[in-house]
Structure 1
Amino acid sequence: MKVATKTVNVHEAKTHFSKLLAAVAKGQRITICKDGMPVAELGPLEAKLPRRRSGLLKGRVTISDDFDAPLPPDMMAAFEAGP
């Protein structure tokens, strides 16, 4: 979903900063311009995904001893043929 961007000049940004932050909190992006040129953008923070913990499946997943063994010819032919 594309959110409309509002453009303001530096004076307006300083004067109405609290109102602009309230708009950002609702998902709006604000472009701040100086002398008609965009110089900054205010926007909502991106949601951060939680870090994955290593070892989470330790003891639950096993890899067979022949994991690296060559595939049977019919399976190898199917892989080489592609989708």
Structure 2
Amino acid sequence: MSTDIEIVNIHDAKTNLSRLVDLASKGHPFIIAKAGKPLVKVEAIDEKPRKRIGALKGLYPAVEDIDAPFADDIAKLFNGEAD
């Protein structure tokens, strides 16, 4: 990839927008200028994937009844009974 960034005037950018956006998305940014004055730089968005809730699903076994060993203790707590 070269370090030279193409400068495109507004009229040419409107005429060739699809092609220019395609090039920018492939790592070739460009600058849109008006009367030779650079206004904006168009480049691909380097979007990082978002972390997803539940992304580890299936990687670790899940205990079906995790509170079973503590059922009596839980019942006592709900009933206000202390040890």
| TM-score, with structure 2 as normaliser | 0.53
Structure 1 residue aligned with 2:7: 7
Q: Is the CA contact 1:30–1:43 (under 8 Å) kept in the aligned structure 2?
A: yes
Q: Is the CA contact 1:10–1:33 (under 8 Å) kept in the aligned structure 2?
A: yes
The RMSD of aligned alpha carbons is: 2.3
Q: Count matched residues.
A: 53
Counterpart mapping for 1:25-40 below 5 A: 25-40=25-40
Structure 2 residue aligned with 1:45: 45
Gaps of 5+ in 2: 54-83
Kindly provide the amino acid, as one letter, of the partner of residue 39 in structure 1.
L
Q: Which has the larger radius of gyration?
A: 2
- Percent sequence identity is 31
Gaps of 5+ in 1: 54-83
| TM-score, with structure 1 as normaliser | 0.53
CA distance in structure 1 between the partners assigned to 2:2 and 2:48 by the alignment: 20
